[in-house]
Amino acid sequence: MTEPASIAVDWGTSSFRLWLVDRAGQVLAERRSDEGMLAAAKAGFAAVLQSHLAAVEAPDHLPVLICGMAGARTGWVEAGYVDTPAPLAAVLQQAARVPGEARDIRILPGIAQRDASAPDVMRGEETQLVGALGLEAPGEALVCMPGTHSKWVRVTDGTVERFSTFMTGELFSVVSRETILSLAVAGAGDAEDIASFKTAVKAAYEAPAFAANLLFGARSRQLLFGGTPAAARETLSGTLIGTELAAGLSGGMPKAGITLVASGRLAALYRQAFDALSVAVTPIDADEAVRRGLSMAAAAIWTR
């Protein structure tokens, strides 16, 4: 068995993931919990991290590299931002050291777009970008990173030029739970309805201004024509994702096409959405991307 070389942590708003990795980035041990930033701010960041380090029996000398919301102002130690245009290599150079800890613990900064007409921030996705594209990928990439707050990122020769956040996932959550449409989707369970989803993606892509109308249509359709709760839920999902795609694809397609960085159900859903529009994508697993990004960053910081 190879020697552990560093510890990688993806510390988001509501989730915590830790990997013990060797010099080649191979995973030797893994921990997952829901002790994200919100929970850790109460329990104490140091205590949460220590409990997971103990669980994987991490040697005392191993350094820890963290990305994500632990570096926010409301996190453990504020890790600041690298401003756009942001070379991904610069992100690695500006990791903030956590003070008062014997162990070398650093938190990677986010990226800020300080454009008054399109202000935006990311924290965590920059590390996924490193893992997905590498530090110096030549040419132009358009990267779609779905989630609670989806990011669409243009990267040229390893530099993040522009990006846009869409609160698609969070909108889906509140629209399906907290509005009159909750009546239409009640009882949908896990049933899928790919045809309804794709129809909604196309409709919203073609007329994104009508998104708030297409959402309401899920209920009107049930009232007038019947239809399952699953069809209604997929209509909501497809409408919101189709609208996001209309915006994300509006800036023109790079020659290299689109890289989709996502995992699990979200990856499958977005692949279907792109498929509905006959747009080809290169899928990359988001979990793997963040782990690889953290390993590459650790190697750059501690192996000199």
Residues contributing to the site for a second copy (CB under 8 A): 112-114, 116-121, 149, 164-168, 170-171, 174-175, 178-181, 203, 207-213, 215-217, 220-221, 223-225, 240, 243-244, 246-247, 250
Residues 266 and 247: their CA atoms lie apart, in Å, by 18
Considering only CA atoms, which of 121, 33, 39, 120 is closest in space to residue 72?
121
Q: How far is the CB of 241 from a second copy (least distance, A)?
A: 10
Residues 12 and 152: their CA atoms lie apart, in Å, by 19
Q: Which residues contact 64 (CB under 8 A, 6 or more apart)?
A: 6, 7, 8, 9, 49, 53, 103, 104, 105, 106
CB-side neighbour CA atoms (13 Å) of 14? 2
Q: How far is the CB of 266 from a second copy (least distance, A)?
A: 16
| Cα 196 to Cα 180, 204, 271, 274, distances in angstroms | 19, 12, 15, 15
Return the structure tokens found at 65.
């590299």
Shorter beta-carbon distance to a second copy: residue 127 or 168: 168
| Exposed / middle / buried, residue 112 (Cβ in 10 Å: 0-12, 13-18, 19+) | middle
Shorter beta-carbon distance to a second copy: residue 57 or 225: 225
Contact 302/141 with Cβ under 8 angstroms? Answer: no
Shorter beta-carbon distance to a second copy: residue 97 or 177: 177
Shorter beta-carbon distance to a second copy: residue 234 or 285: 234
Q: How far is the CB of 301 from a second copy (least distance, A)?
A: 26
Q: How far is the CB of 22 from a second copy (least distance, A)?
A: 37
Q: How far is the CB of 290 from a second copy (least distance, A)?
A: 21
Contact 65/294 with Cβ under 8 angstroms? Answer: yes
Shorter beta-carbon distance to a second copy: residue 66 or 181: 181
Q: DSSP readout, 50-74?
A: HHHHHHTT--TT--EEEEEGGGSTT
Q: How far is the CB of 299 from a second copy (least distance, A)?
A: 31
Q: How far is the CB of 212 from a second copy (least distance, A)?
A: 4
Shorter beta-carbon distance to a second copy: residue 54 or 224: 224
Residues 92 and 121: their CA atoms lie apart, in Å, by 17
Shorter beta-carbon distance to a second copy: residue 249 or 268: 249
Shorter beta-carbon distance to a second copy: residue 24 or 223: 223
Question: In the sheet where 281-285 sits, what is the strand order?
Answer: 86-87, 159-166, 150-156, 140-145, 258-262, 281-285
Q: How far is the CB of 208 from a second copy (least distance, A)?
A: 4
